[in-house]
Amino acid sequence: MSLEVLDAGALTTIQDLGRFGHAHLGVPRAGALDAPAAALANRLVGNGRAAAVLETTLSGLTVRTHRARTIAVTGATCEVTVDGRAMAHSEPISVRAGATVELGHASAGVRSYLAVAGGIDVRPVLGSRSTDTLAWVGPARVQDGVWLPVGTPEGAPAPLDVGVRRTAGRHLRIAPGPRADWINDSAWRDLDHAAYTVGADSNRVGLRLQGPPLHRARTGELASEGIVLGAVQLPPSGQLVVFLHDHPVTGGYPVIGLVDPDDLAICAQLRPGERVELRVQSSSGRGAGPSAGSSTG
């Protein structure tokens, strides 16, 4: 069983849960940016949670199946057709051998996920089938004309499941990070409920936010330190960067905050030009900023 890629779109990559335990070697984790959407697609076709899927970016994907199989499309809203016939989004779809499956341009969100019963069965690299777009570790970027192997189905398609559709009016919860004291309490209060616009240069490495610049309370620069998924970095420009799954493992700008892990999937689907509001959280729940009870260490 294999998929023939007829049109790979702007950027299609193979992703699974990610590549863990190699940051000390300079290897990012990678993995599906909208992890809940990828997990839903796998459940719908009867795959285990670690099965690899195809992650598209805005412009869709067209493939041809070479054996009858169950598929599902989740994530960003898009038109799904099989041999030109409209099919449901976020539901299991049975396709015949030789069928042409097309995911159209995303009408809401950025990244759609195509799961096939059996999973995309490329060779793992360092324990993962995920493509890392920063260091290009793992499978190559999906190109027109390639044939992708598909594994043996593991279980029956899910009879019923529920996908979460993310709509406008989104916000990101941010807790103070290890360098929270690089901005003062007044700046933390300004940051709470501040509106930012998603930058056009956002990608799998990081979500770039454009808005009111934050001014540092300290001068100088840091030596390079470790970076984790969801880290909110403050460059000299004062414009924030939220690091996503293909982030570098170290960075030299202060990490003032961390995005709540449950909000990372929102970052995956924010389109350039969309607005997002920040909500500053504290460990005590009593307000915004480090002085409300969060540690700055």
According to the model, what pLDDT value does residue 194 have? 94
In DSSP terms, which residues pair with 54 in a beta bridge? 14, 114
Amino acid at site 160: L
- Distance (Å, whole) CA 236 – CA 255: 12
Q: Which comes out higher in pLDDT, residue 189 or 28? A: 189
Secondary structure element (H or E) that encloses residue 14, with its range: strand 13-15
Phi, psi of 87 (to 5 degrees): -125, 165
- The two structure tokens encoding residue 34: 């909208």
Strands 85-87 and 80-82: antiparallel
Please indicate, yes or no, whether the overall pTM of this predicted structure exceeds 0.85. yes
- The per-residue pLDDT for range 2-20, each reduced to its tens digit, is 999 999 999 999 999 999 8
- The per-residue pLDDT for range 44-70, each reduced to its tens digit, is 999 999 999 999 999 999 999 999 999
Q: Are 142 and 96 in contact (CB under 8 A)?
A: no
- CA angle 204/48/108 to nearest 5° reads 40
- The per-residue pLDDT for range 229-249, each reduced to its tens digit, is 999 999 999 999 999 999 999
Domain boundaries for CATH 2.40.100.10 within the chain: 171-292
In DSSP terms, which residues pair with 147 in a beta bridge? 4
- Distance (Å, whole) CA 74 – CA 115: 8
What's the Cα-to-Cα distance from 62 to each of 31, 74, 76, 143, 182, rounded to whole Å? 22, 15, 16, 11, 47
Percentage, residues of the chain above pLDDT 90 = 81
Chain Cα centroid distance, residue 285:
27
Q: How confident is the model at residue 200 (pLDDT cuts 50, 70, 90)?
A: very high
Q: How is domain 171-292 classified at the CATH fold level? A: Cyclophilin (2.40.100)
Phi, psi of 143 (to 5 degrees): -120, 160
